[in-house]
């Protein structure tokens, strides 16, 4: 678009430059001479070749055209529309030809910036560990990065043949990268919808491979007709997640195995966690979801004490808190020591220390699913 505007502007300037007659063989006024001299200087700085060619031969050429060697000049004068390195355009005014030779690698600053951006983007894609496959509006593989070949075990030579989406998926199935679906017809229908960009939501699925790896696959169709697929090896991250969950489960089991009743509140006063001892031996079948519920239950179980009001303020005020203890007694006469501990995250830990069960409900199982 920008190049077309430049060409039209060039034609306009040349028309002014050659108005009435060529400078070298027709008399003109002094002011017109000065104007045409200025136009000549402008045209000399054009980034492509411009020349005027009446029947008698070339009468004027800009500096770019004068820089051509003899062979290139000869070809250009023959008005070859498509040379290897140049595209020749001709504009006829009267009996004269006004010609432009535009190098095929000519780029505007905007195009250069775009090209640099594409190069940077390609270099970034090449460094990613996530495999990227872009299918164009013809459903052919138009872009991929090295991680795609590595994660899927597909040879780059085959990928360079630009297979379509269904051929790509069939190849993954043949090489046992794609898990065998229970309903292959339904599975192909899903990918045909992706191929036609008919899906409203992204395709997301974890593929468990025969070699023990897990690939997280995301397919995202676009309204332009292109489809982008991401193939990420999440084997290690899933293993870490399972290990983390197992550690949390072990920690919960250890806390449940203690003889201390424990309950934890967050900054807002909501209950985050309560262990089995607190649930079974202190509050029984009652429900506790907040500091208000907690205070009401404690007042019904223990003798009156200002401890619970102080505790509510303690949970809300998370600045400069220190641990504190309170000795209280149940309405049945059982002594209990309560320990309130501020957590670094702003949460509050509450521990109930007693050697006698307050509520004689049976213990519950300590099992915990990972």
In terms of pLDDT, which residue wins out, 182 or 177?
Answer: 177
What's the rounded Cα separation, in Å, for the pair 328 and 56? 117
Length of the chain, in residues: 370
The overall average pLDDT reported for the chain is 76
Tens of pLDDT along 236-277? 999 999 999 999 999 889 988 888 999 999 999 999 999 999
pTM of the predicted protein model: 0.50
HEC assignment per residue over the chain = CHHHHHHHHHHHHHHHHCCCCCCCCCCCCHHHHHHHHHHHHHHHCCCCEEEEECCCCCCEECHHHHCCCHHHHHHHHCCCCECCCEEEEEEEECCEEEEEEEECCCCCHHHHHHHHHHHHHHHHHHHCCCEEEEECCCCEEEEECHHHHHHHCCCHHHHCCCCEHHHHHHHHHHCCCCCCCCCHHHHHHHHHHHHCCCCCCCEEEEEECCCCCEEEEEEEECCCCCEEEEEEECHHHHHHHHHHHHHHHHHHHHHHCCCCEEEEECCCCEEEEECHHHHHHHHCCCCCCEHHHHHHHHHHHECCCCHHHHHHHHHHCCCCCCCEEEEEEECCCCEEEEEEEECCCCCEEEEEECCCCCCCCCCCCCCCCC
Per-residue confidence (pLDDT) for residue 29, from 0 to 100: 44
Per-residue confidence (pLDDT) for residue 120, from 0 to 100: 76
Per-residue confidence (pLDDT) for residue 32, from 0 to 100: 43
Tens of pLDDT along 151-168? 898 999 999 999 988 889
Please name each of the domains of the chain with its CATH number: 2-103 (no CATH), 114-233 (3.30.450.20), 251-353 (3.30.450.20)
261 Ramachandran zone, left/alpha/beta (phi>0; psi -120 to 50): beta
Tens of pLDDT along 87-132? 777 767 666 776 777 766 655 555 666 667 767 777 787 888 899 9
- Count the neighbouring beta carbons within 10 Å of the beta carbon of residue 83: 15
In terms of pLDDT, which residue wins out, 280 or 80?
Answer: 280
For 222-229, what is the mean pLDDT?
82
Angle at 251 between CA 360 and CA 326, to 5 degrees: 55
Q: Residue 73: CB partners within 8 Å, gap ≥ 6?
A: 65
Is residue 366 pLDDT above 80, yes or no? no
Q: Which of 218, 222, 219, 221 is nearest to 232 (CA)?
A: 218
Per-residue confidence (pLDDT) for residue 363, from 0 to 100: 44
Record the tokens describing residue 198, joined without a space.
């008919």
Per-residue confidence (pLDDT) for residue 166, from 0 to 100: 84
Per mean pLDDT, which range of 40-44, 182-186, 282-286 is the poorest?
40-44
Per-residue confidence (pLDDT) for residue 351, from 0 to 100: 95
Per-residue confidence (pLDDT) for residue 190, from 0 to 100: 73
What's the rounded Cα separation, in Å, for the pair 274 and 289? 10
What phi and psi values does residue 99 have, to the nearest 5 degrees?
A: -115, 150
Q: How far apart are the first and last CA of the chain?
A: 61
């Amino acid at each position: 678009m920008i190049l077309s505007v430049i060409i039209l502007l060039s034609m306009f300037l040349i028309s002014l430059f050659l108005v009435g007659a060529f400078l070298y063989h027709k008399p003109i006024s002094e002011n017109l001479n000065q104007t045409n001299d200025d136009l000549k200087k402008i045209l000399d700085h054009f980034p492509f070749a411009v020349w005027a060619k009446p029947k008698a031969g070339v009468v004027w050429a800009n500096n770019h055209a004068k820089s051509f060697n003899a062979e290139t000049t000869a070809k250009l004068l023959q008005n070859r529309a498509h040379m290897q390195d140049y595209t020749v355009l001709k504009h006829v005014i009267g009996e004269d030809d006004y010609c432009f030779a535009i190098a095929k690698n000519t780029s505007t600053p905007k195009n250069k910036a775009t090209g640099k951006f594409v190069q940077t983007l390609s270099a970034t894609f090449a460094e990613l560990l996530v495999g990227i496959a872009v299918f164009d509006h013809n459903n052919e593989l138009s872009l991929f990065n090295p991680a795609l070949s590595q994660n899927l075990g597909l040879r780059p030579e085959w990928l360079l043949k630009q297979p379509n989406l269904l051929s790509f998926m069939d190849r993954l199935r043949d090489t046992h990268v794609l898990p065998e679906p229970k309903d292959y017809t339904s599975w192909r229908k899903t990918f045909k919808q992706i191929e036609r960009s008919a899906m409203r939501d992204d395709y997301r699925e974890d593929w468990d491979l025969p070699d023990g790896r897990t690939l997280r696959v995301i397919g995202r169709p676009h309204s332009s007709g292109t489809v982008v697929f991401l193939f990420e090896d999440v084997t290690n991250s899933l293993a870490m997640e399972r290990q983390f969950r197992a550690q949390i489960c072990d920690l919960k089991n250890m806390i449940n195995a203690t003889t201390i009743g424990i309950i934890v509140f967050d900054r807002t006063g909501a209950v985050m966690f309560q262990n089995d001892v607190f649930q079974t031996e202190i509050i029984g079948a009652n429900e506790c979801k907040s500091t208000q519920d907690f205070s009401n239950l404690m007042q019904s179980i223990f003798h009156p004490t200002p401890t619970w009001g102080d505790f509510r303020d303690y949970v809300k005020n998370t600045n400069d808190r220190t641990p504190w203890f309170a000795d209280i007694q149940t309405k049945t006469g059982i002594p209990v020591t309560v320990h309130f501990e501020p957590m670094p995250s702003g949460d509050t830990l509450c521990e109930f220390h007693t050697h006698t069960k307050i509520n004689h409900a049976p213990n519950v199982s300590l099992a915990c699913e990972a």
